[in-house]
């Protein structure tokens, strides 16, 4: 049994039991059925609609009145006017789409008890195997094995089926698609489909797409009947499948999907299966093998679904380690350089009308998708988010100008493939102007993890500057104070006691804008940029309202002490605790009173939440250095109520942010870092007394390998390419101050 394997005794009965494969651009869910194999297919740029800009021409003329109503405390009237006059047109965005399904149909059954289905995280290959059930069964009964992967090296899906008995393979291949299109004529060794996406919300369909399938046989023969390929008497068969769309950029759909497929077809045609497989594994392991985590013994002898059901009993710490590595596997599978960022469902979606359009929700979910990348030593996987922000800075500039009469750029709480940036759904959810600012802060944190390289700072600075310019233009004086606040805004997505979410200056906005201004000032200082806006940013920073402690000792979510009167005290969002995590404005060391107030807020809010809500709470309790409570949250997350049998996060429905947030939270329990300090084992639970973590990344450009036994650090090596000036400590014990470039053994024991 492998510690890096998900395995099951039966095929998937539901989509959320199927096993995911992907390379960022392509995604597939492999079901592993015996009589029929079902592989559900996605391509990251196949969305509904086409380029559009959802501007509402009445927004800017109505803005001043909405602001006045909010400042006057007439919140319900403000919401009514905002819904009538400030929201995007159309009010909904486009949706991520399924491309189709690949079916392999067999006329046989498996010997009872012989079936096994696996996902090997080490090789990124899904496999299933069984013995053939038939009359007169003998010891030499044929065994069948299938393998499926999506190669980052060759950028295609590969599926191989083989039999231990020569000539025993008889099956049919079939493709379908929920998108309109037609099948091309061809021979017995290929299937090709050409289709179009569909329009939505008045946005016309603009994408063309193609699916191409090639069949290779070892022995036997094939014939074509309509859009089906029939294989008879083969020893083994390989299916190579590709999907492409005409998408080139959010405002350009002039690509030729047929040409894209033809190029990749030609390249892969020169390789045999063994080479394709070896190149795939090599490309995967180059990144995946960077990190190793051990948290104690476990039950790899049990199927993964049974391990999930028992995790809350506390006897399987190895499943928590597997959860981290599964999160890293998902990251590599749905977000690589040159691809789209991970959506609410990564790169996997079966529905033409998916929940929340399976898009990018930027008031927590998109950000949470990328909490794991840097500490998990997968910084390359962060690049699609940088690309996204650069696109949004273009599309969001028009929204800023026409909705707010402001310079710079804005993103509200959602975007899609077409980089729409307007406020959507309804004012009580969508009229939140700091989604883009939060993404910029996250880009800066990525830079800090990387050690602050100048080239990355230069790349990100224009996006930062645009977000700062917008913030400076929209901040409003809070009546009878010296404060500047956002208005209109809201604390996502939580109603306050006055019947709406709309308000001025919620705590989260103030915290995000402090981080945004700090990031911009740090970037300009590092590059020696002289810009009059730096003075404006410094002045505005000083006028943002500070965090406040309410009458119950809680950290206030709003300027007013409304928390205990709010209708949803146990709300899934904990937006006002952004300052504790992912930000570092609040900590037990530097702001102990605010940290205790955050703890009180967490206790009031409670531990019941959606999957991603538990992922956020896990990180918050880790920042409060309460390892046992953090593990209690983890046990709620890795539970059949919140985790599907294939380890996908169950919001419900499936959302991938809980996977990434939960995996990041496990690492946060073991390492916490800032540019000037790294703390080891800050929230170690009693259930993980001994373990190992190798290859974890810390802010400041430091990579760490360490072990602990009986709760005590026993070995530590730090690696840094450019040196590190900060301190490394365990609890209150400083182990090292400053590191030279290279590798430094700080505690030498048995680390390997």
Cβ count near 678 (within 10 Å):
25
Residue 439 neighbours by CB under 8 Å, 6+ apart? 362, 366, 367, 385, 388, 389, 392, 411
What distance in Å separates the CA atoms of residue 701 and residue 694, rounded to the nearest whole number?
Answer: 15
Strand partners, 211: 193, 243
Residue-by-residue DSSP string for 303-345: -HHHHHHHGGGS--HHHHHHHHHHHHHHHHHH--TTSPPPBTT
Report the alpha-carbon angle 482-485-487, nearest 5: 135
pLDDT tens, 337-394?
A: 999 999 999 999 999 999 999 999 999 999 999 999 999 999 999 999 999 999 999 9
What tokens appear for 747 in the block? 């505690």
Amino acid 135: pLDDT: 41
What distance in Å separates the CA atoms of residue 85 and residue 63, rounded to the nearest whole number?
Answer: 8
As a whole-number percent, the residues of the chain with pLDDT over 70 amount to 99
The answer to whether the 5-48+95-289 and 62-93+355-564+584-594 domains have the same CATH topology is: no
Q: According to CATH, what is the number of the domain 62-93+355-564+584-594?
A: 1.50.10.10
Asked whether the beta carbons of 370 and 385 are under 8 A apart, the reply is yes
Asked whether the beta carbons of 489 and 476 are under 8 A apart, the reply is no
Cβ count near 270 (within 10 Å):
7
CATH 1.25.40.10 matches 5-48+95-289:
no
Output DSSP code: residue 549: B
Residue 552 neighbours by CB under 8 Å, 6+ apart? 563, 564, 600, 604
Asked whether the beta carbons of 36 and 18 are under 8 A apart, the reply is no
Largest Cα span, the chain? 90
What tokens appear for 114 in the block? 């012989």
Element (H, E) at 168: none
Amino acid 146: pLDDT: 97
Cα–Cα nearest to 655, from 356, 410, 296, 319 = 356
Amino acid 140: pLDDT: 63
Cα–Cα nearest to 340, from 22, 639, 73 = 22
Domain locations in the chain as residue ranges: 5-48+95-289, 62-93+355-564+584-594, 691-747
Amino acid 496: pLDDT: 97
What distance in Å separates the CA atoms of residue 603 and residue 569, rounded to the nearest whole number?
Answer: 10
What distance in Å separates the CA atoms of residue 582 and residue 584, rounded to the nearest whole number?
Answer: 7
Alpha helix positions (H), 681-724: none
Amino acid 137: pLDDT: 46
pLDDT tens, 278-303?
A: 999 999 999 999 999 999 999 999 99
pLDDT, mean of each 10-residue run, the chain (752 residues)? 93 98 98 97 98 98 98 98 98 98 94 95 98 63 93 98 94 97 95 97 98 98 95 97 98 98 97 98 98 96 97 96 98 98 98 98 98 98 98 98 98 98 98 98 98 98 98 98 98 96 98 98 97 96 98 98 92 96 97 98 95 97 98 98 97 96 98 96 98 98 98 97 96 95 89 46
Taking CA atoms, 399 is separated from 89, 263, 415, 423, 483, in Å, by 11, 38, 12, 9, 26
Amino acid 477: pLDDT: 98
Amino acid 48: pLDDT: 98
Instruction: Indicate the pTM of the whole model.
Output: 0.97
SS3 507: helix
Phi-psi region of 98 (alpha: psi -120 to 50; beta: other; left: phi over 0): beta
Beta strands in 93-207 (DSSP E): 96-106, 109-110, 116-120, 125-133, 143-150, 157-163, 169-176, 181-183, 190-196
Residue-by-residue DSSP string for 591-634: -HHHHHHHHHHHHHH-S---HHHHHHHHHHHHHTT-HHHHHHHH
Cα–Cα nearest to 196, from 174, 176, 212, 178 = 178
């Amino acid at each position: 049994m492998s510690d890096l394997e998900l395995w099951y005794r039966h095929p998937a009965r539901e989509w959320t039991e199927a096993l995911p494969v992907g390379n960022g651009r392509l995604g597939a869910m492999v079901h592993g059925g015996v009589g029929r194999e079902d592989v559900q297919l996605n391509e990251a740029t196949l969305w509904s609609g086409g380029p559009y800009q959802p501007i509402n021409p009445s927004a800017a003329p109505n803005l001043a009145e909405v602001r006045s109503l909010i400042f006057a405390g007439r919140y319900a009237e403000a919401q009514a006017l905002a819904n009538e006059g400030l929201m995007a047109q159309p009010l909904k965005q486009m949706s991520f789409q399924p491309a189709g399904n690949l079916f392999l149909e067999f006329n046989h059954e498996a010997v009872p008890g012989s079936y096994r289905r696996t996902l090997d995280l080490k090789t990124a290959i899904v496999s299933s195997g069984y013995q053939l059930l038939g009359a007169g069964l003998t010891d030499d009964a044929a065994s069948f094995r299938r393998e499926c992967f999506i190669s980052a090296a060759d950028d295609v899906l590969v599926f191989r089926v083989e039999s231990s008995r020569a000539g025993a393979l008889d099956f049919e291949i079939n493709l379908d698609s929920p998108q309109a299109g037609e099948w091309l004529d061809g021979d017995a060794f290929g299937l090709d489909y050409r289709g179009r996406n569909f329009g939505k919300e008045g946005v016309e369909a603009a994408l063309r797409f193609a699916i191409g399938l090639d069949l290779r046989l070892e022995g036997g023969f094939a014939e074509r009947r309509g859009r089906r390929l029939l294989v008879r008497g083969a020893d083994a068969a390989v299916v190579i499948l590709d999907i492409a769309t005409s998408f080139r950029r959010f405002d350009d759909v002039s690509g030729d999907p047929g040409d894209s497929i033809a190029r990749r077809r030609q390249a892969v045609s020169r390789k045999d299966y063994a080479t394709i497989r070896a190149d795939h594994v090599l490309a995967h392991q180059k990144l995946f093998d960077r990190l190793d985590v051990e948290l104690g013994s476990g039950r790899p002898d049990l199927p993964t679904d049974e391990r999930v059901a028992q995790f809350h009993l506390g006897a399987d710490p190895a499943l928590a380690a597997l959860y981290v590595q599964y999160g890293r596997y998902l990251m590599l599978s749905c977000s690589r350089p040159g691809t789209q960022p991970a959506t609410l469902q990564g790169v996997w979606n079966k529905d033409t009308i998916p929940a929340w359009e399976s898009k990018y929700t930027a008031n927590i979910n998109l950000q949470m998708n990328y909490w794991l990348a840097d500490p998990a030593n997968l910084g390359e996987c962060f690049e699609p988010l940088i690309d996204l922000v650069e696109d949004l800075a273009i599309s969001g500039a028009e929204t800023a100008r026409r909705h707010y009469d402001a310079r710079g750029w804005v993103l509200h709480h959602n975007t899609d493939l077409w980089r729409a940036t307007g406020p959507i759904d309804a004012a009580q959810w969508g009229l939140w102007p700091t989604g883009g600012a939060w993404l910029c802060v996250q880009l800066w944190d990525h830079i800090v993890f990387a050690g602050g390289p100048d080239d990355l700072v230069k790349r990100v600075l224009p996006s930062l500057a645009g977000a700062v310019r917008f913030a400076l233009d929209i901040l409003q004086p809070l009546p009878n104070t010296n404060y500047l606040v956002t208005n209109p805004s809201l604390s996502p997505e939580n109603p306050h006691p006055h019947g709406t979410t709309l308000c001025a200056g919620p705590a989260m906005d103030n915290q995000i804008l402090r981080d945004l201004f700090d990031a911009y000032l740090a970037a300009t200082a590092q590059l020696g940029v002289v810009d009059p806006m730096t003075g404006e940013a410094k002045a505005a920073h000083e006028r943002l309202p500070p965090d406040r402690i309410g009458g119950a000792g809680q950290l206030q979510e709003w300027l007013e002490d409304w928390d205990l009167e709010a209708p949803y005290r146990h709300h899934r969002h904990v937006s006002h605790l952004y300052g504790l995590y992912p930000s570092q404005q609040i900590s037990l060391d530097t702001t102990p009173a605010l940290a205790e107030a955050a703890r009180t807020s967490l206790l009031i809010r409670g531990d019941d939440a959606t999957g991603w809500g538990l992922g956020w709470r896990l990180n918050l309790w880790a920042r409060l250095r309460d390892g046992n409570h953090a593990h209690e949250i983890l046990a709620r997350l890795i539970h059949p109520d919140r985790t599907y049998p294939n380890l996908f996060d169950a919001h419900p429905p499936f959302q991938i942010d809980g996977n990434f947030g939960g995996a990041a939270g496990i690492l946060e329990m073991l390492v916490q870092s800032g540019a000037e300090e790294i703390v080891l084992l800050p929230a170690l639970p009693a259930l993980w007394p001994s373990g190992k973590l190798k290859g974890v990344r810390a802010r400041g450009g430091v990579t760490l390998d360490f072990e602990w036994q009986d709760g005590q650090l026993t070995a530590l090596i730090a690696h840094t390419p450019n040196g590190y000036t900060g301190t490394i400590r365990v609890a209150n014990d400083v182990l090292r101050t400053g590191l030279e470039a290279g590798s430094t053994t700080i505690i030498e024991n048995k680390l390997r």
